[in-house]
Amino acid sequence: MINQNKRTAILHGTIVTPFQLLEDRIIIIEKGKIIAITDRKEDLAILKNVEIIEAQNKFIVPGYIDIHVHGGGGSDVMDGEYEAIKQVATTHSRFGTTAFLPTTMAMTKDKIIKSLKSIHEARLKGTGTAEILGIHLEGPYINPEKKGAQKEEDIKKVSVEEFLEFNQASGNLIRLVTIAPEMPGAIDFIRWLHQQGIIVSVGHSNATYKQVQEGIQAGLSQVTHIFNAMRGLHHREPGVVGAALSSPKLIVEMIADGIHLHPMVLKMLTQIKESEKLVLITDAMRATGFKEGTYDLGGQEVMVTQGQAKLKNGTLAGSVLTMDKAVKNLVTKVGISLLNAVQMASYNPAKCLGIDDKKGSLELYKDADIVILNKNLETELTMVAGKVVYRRKEI
């Protein structure tokens, strides 16, 4: 195990910053930060107590940041227990995630509050692996017509008072809220959230193009898992999808598992949207990194077979996707460059959260959140703040 207080050097890999590829450089890490990126071998000679990580024939990329993740390793954010949050973090760190937003869903008020308290506890105690950056509140202020895998009876009317209870329970950790802007009171709520510095995303929504534009004027800035659980594109009513594709202000979440979105749709998104406006997410549920079978998601039974999670009625119920697989899918199935794919998994989510000065790229004095990938783009090693939290094998 790497000693976080010693200097660490990562050698010989191809660095994906992700704005350029750097060959045969040395990354030097101290006290959780990147303190040098150099091609001067003599720099190593003057360092004492350097621990070496060899990355020959491998890619060195910024840690992946997942802003939409419900579960993994058999646990779910809505379990409302510290150990469940810790298990989710540990599971996703095996696949290159170094930081994330635990994501809630529509359930009873008591269960949401219990979940939020457990995330706050995990934030205070630490997970020992992937870092909790905040919370994504997906619902309960959504449209029942586009509920997806969320229970209709748990969907609620917009309430600032209730939200304040939620945020208090979370220790003011809510960073992102998914909402349907067409619902009564939603526009005023979006405006209020924006004034509080909370990111607002349109999702689980049957909004018209005009209603989304009204949301944008109020402070709406993101789109939750584009194409899924929203009004689609029609040539006479562009809907949520039309607004997402045409509005330069909107950052778009993509589930790149080849199930939620066809590879050609993913390619189309990369051609239409500015690359910095695309963010890879997993929307992962508790079966991720675990065995197939029957699971619970928000009080509903989900069958996981052949890499797909579905309710009994066939509705997709989250995914079993991991961030490294999402990056690999963009490169191998869509034809996106590794630079762009990594950017969508690291820098772009960091920028949308306003933390790109600390995370999201391999640059001097940024957090040493680093992932080493093999040539198949699978995670070999995950480092969070200079500490190795996962090692697939000796590399």
55 annotated to a ligand binding site = no
283 is catalytic: yes
The answer to whether 194 is annotated as binding is: no
Cα(363)–Cα(103) distance, integer angstroms: 29
Distance CA 355, CA 12 (A): 28
Q: Which amino acid is at 289?
A: G
β-pair partners for 71: 76
What are the tokens at 133?
């950056």
Q: Residue 230: beta bridge partners?
A: 205
DSSP conformational letter for 12: S
Q: Residue 266 in contact with residue 260, Cβ under 8 Å? A: no
The residue from 79, 283, 324, 369 that is catalytic is: 283
Asked whether residue 9 is marked as a ligand-binding residue, the answer is: no
Q: Is 149 annotated as a binding residue?
A: yes
Residue 318 is labelled as binding a ligand: yes
Whole-angstrom Cα distance, residue 77 to residue 22?
38
Q: Is 204 marked as a binding-site residue?
A: yes
- CA 13, 133, 124, 102 dihedral sign is negative
Residue whose tokens read 């306003």: 354
Tell me whether residue 385 is annotated as binding.
no
**Rounded Cα–Cα distance for residues 201 and 221 (Å):** 6
Burial, 223: exposed, middle or buried (Cβ in 10 Å; 0-12, 13-18, 19+)? buried
Contact between 352 and 344 (Cβ < 8 Å): no
Taking a C-beta distance cutoff of 8 angstroms, is the pair 356, 350 a contact? yes
Taking alpha carbons only, the member of 205, 160, 159, 198 closest to residue 180 is 205
Is 360 annotated as contributing to ligand binding? no
Cα dihedral sign, 258-259-265-270: negative
- Note the Cα 285 to chain centre separation in Å: 13
H/E stretch holding 100 reads strand 97-104
Cα 386 to the center of its chain, rounded Å: 20
Tokens of 167: 């945020």
Q: State CA 118 to chain mean position distance.
A: 19
Residue 316 labelled as part of a binding site? yes
Give me Rg for the CA atoms of the chain. 20
Rounded-to-integer distance, Cα 291 and Cα 317, Å: 16
Catalytic positions are 283
Residues annotated within the binding site for Zn(2+) are 138, 204, 225
Residues annotated within the binding site are 138, 149, 204, 225, 228-229, 236, 260, 316-318
Residues annotated within the binding site for substrate are 149, 228-229, 236, 260, 316-318
